[in-house]
Amino acid sequence: MKRIVVLFLVLQSSLFFGQFTGSLESNSQWYVDDEHIGGFNEDERFRSNNYLNLNYFLNKFTAAVKFESYAPKALLNYSPRLDKTIGLAAFSIKYKNKNLDLTLGNFYDQFGSGLIFRSFEDRQLGVDNSIGGFRIKYQPKNLSVTSFIGKQRVGFDLSDGIIFGFNSELDLSSLVNKNISIGFSYIGRNQKLPDDITSDISETLSLFSARINYSYKKFYSNLEYVHKGDDPLIEFESIIDSRLFDGNAILFNLGYTKKRMGLDASFRRLENIAVYVDRAAYLNVYNDQLINYTPSLTKQHHFSLSNIYVYQAQPQLAFIPFGKSGEIGGQFDIFYKFKKNSLIGGEYGTLISFNYSQWHRLKTDYDLANRTYKSDYFGFGNKNFSDFNVSLNKKWSKKTKTILTFMSLFYDKDYLEEKIGQINASIVAAEVNYKINSKKSTRLQLEHLFTQNDKKNWLAGSLEFNFSNKFSLYANEQYNYGNDFNDDKIHYYNIGGNYNTGKTRVSLNYGRQRGGLICIGGICRFVPNSTGLSVSLNTNF
């Protein structure tokens, strides 16, 4: 009894001297029938995604838990594994001092650029691939070493496959008197093979990464190479054990910066580099169980019509319905800010930026019947996508600034969506921001997409009014006025507002969602057409 009393007093003392923080996020929607896009044919018109994070800090220790609720069901097109009314989604206990970082439980991490490994959370995309296990980080001078082992989060469960890894980063600057660092990573995935597999296939898949970063004065560069070991072909969630393929990736980035000017160029080649912690999850539509990170290296536009034809990286190997083995291409950025009080710069300066990205299939010979292929390493096959865009940012006065953008796109719908059509489109967009006074402001966006392909021309607009730093209202619309079919000339409209008070934000929206891809940071999630009322709450405490 005395021991219980002592333990209770110790816990009470810890709670008294420690510190609690937390956050709550709730996103809910009531779906309604819509005569223009069709009735709501799913069960449960009201759906809600909710996330509660609790953190406790005491000296060098941190404890964290996360609860999630999907009641009565998750929002449309989130993973069906997110199926609990309320459940424990993650927990961790962490110890950290100057050089040592120990974590037991769930954690996120990234090795290099993420081509070999990245675990992260993005709730809007429905991605949370945290690792549940043990991780150790050691960081003496000029060196960082990380090692971990665990299973990946899959809904409210853990993956069948085990993932383990090692990462090292060494800063050589003090040794060679140059700004240079090198890194090496290893990732292993181990998963039991089905009983009907009789061929000699290793249960462990290995991936290796080597990289170097170098900078000199105003120049910087980095190079990374990833090798993926032999892995069996997966078709229709089944293992084709007679077909083993390795994979690889290379990423090179070069840039130059100086006052008022910057250049950046990236090149990347991916071949059979899509990696999942469970083999059967290959090419699932929910971004579930991904081990590595292969975002599209294209301009991330903030205008709405640019998301109609948005590119997704193509790292996968497939033979059905036609051959795919990867992608090759890159992008180039340049910006220049004209001086204030110059002819073009005017009183406040003018910023002009150019971006060009182009992506191709790998130049490859396929034997579809026998499920084999041979690629030309630096060969460019047919073009998948290109985007040339130029933007002009101009501040006219203390109250007014504008953004003008032009985009020219090519999108191979045949290859990227396995639907008929190759699309050439142009988009012009303009944005005006006007500051009425220290509290009130307004923002207007107008856009037009021109194309003779697919669904033809679109028109879009958005108007936002900020009454203060606490309260704002907005209305936006996309209209497919050029569609050849009158019934498909649909207005996709939304009206809503946001209210902020302290650490709490509440949002309300009613409107019609255009089906397609929602993309954040080059990673996308498909959403269907829908109409309804949405409410969101975010608070920190």
Q: What is the 3-state secondary structure (H, E, C) of 234-250?
A: EECCEEEEEEEEEEEEE
Q: pLDDT per residue over 358-409, tens digit each?
A: 999 999 999 999 999 999 999 999 999 999 999 999 999 999 999 999 999 9
* pLDDT above 90: residue 413: yes
Query: What global pTM score does this model have?
Result: 0.91
Q: pLDDT per residue over 113-144, tens digit each?
A: 999 999 999 999 999 999 999 999 999 989 99
* pLDDT above 70: residue 8: no
DSSP codes, 308-361:
SS--------B-SSS-B-EEEEEEEEEEEEEPTTBTTTBTT-EEEEEEEEEEEE
* pLDDT above 80: residue 230: yes
With a CB cutoff of 8 Å and minimum separation 6, the contacts of 486 are none
Cα–Cα nearest to 255, from 268, 273, 267, 245? 267
* pLDDT above 70: residue 1: no
Q: In CATH, what is the architecture of 97-289?
A: Beta Barrel (2.40)
Q: pLDDT per residue over 138-178, tens digit each?
A: 999 899 999 999 999 999 999 999 999 999 999 998 888 88
Is the separation of the CB atoms in 540 and 314 below 8 Å?
A: no
pLDDT score, position 447: 98
* pLDDT above 50: residue 7: no
Binned at pLDDT 50, 70 and 90, residue 241 comes out as confident
Q: Bridge partners of 196?
A: none
pLDDT score, position 237: 84
Straight-line distance from the first to the last Cα atom of the chain, in angstroms, rounded to the nearest whole number: 36
* CA distances from residue 330 to 122, 253, 269, 359 in whole angstroms, order as listed: 25, 9, 9, 6
pLDDT score, position 142: 92
pLDDT score, position 526: 87
Binned at pLDDT 50, 70 and 90, residue 532 comes out as very high
pLDDT score, position 393: 96
Q: For the chain, what are the domain ranges?
A: 97-289
Q: pLDDT per residue over 34-49, tens digit each?
A: 999 988 988 899 999 9
Percentage of residues in the chain having pLDDT higher than 70: 97
Binned at pLDDT 50, 70 and 90, residue 15 comes out as low
pLDDT score, position 285: 87
Helix and strand element counts for the chain (H, E) = 3, 30
How far apart CA 122 and CA 465 sit, in angstroms, is 28
How far apart CA 298 and CA 388 sit, in angstroms, is 10
pLDDT score, position 17: 67
How far apart CA 51 and CA 63 sit, in angstroms, is 17
Q: Bridge partners of 56?
A: 20, 63
Average pLDDT over residues 434-455: 96
How far apart CA 533 and CA 120 sit, in angstroms, is 29
* pLDDT above 50: residue 4: no
Mean pLDDT (the chain, rounded): 93
* pLDDT above 70: residue 14: no
- Residue type present at position 295: P
Q: Bridge partners of 362?
A: 380
HEC secondary structure over 400-433? EEEEEEEEEEEEEHHHHCCCCCEEEEEEEEEEEE
Residue 526: half-sphere exposure toward Cβ, Cα within 13 Å: 8
How far apart CA 166 and CA 51 sit, in angstroms, is 31
* pLDDT above 90: residue 108: yes
Q: pLDDT per residue over 256-310, tens digit each?
A: 999 999 999 999 999 999 999 999 898 888 999 999 999 999 999 989 999 999 9
How far apart CA 159 and CA 286 sit, in angstroms, is 15
Q: What are the two backbone dihedrals, phi and then psi, of residue 385, each rounded to the nearest 5 degrees?
A: -165, 145
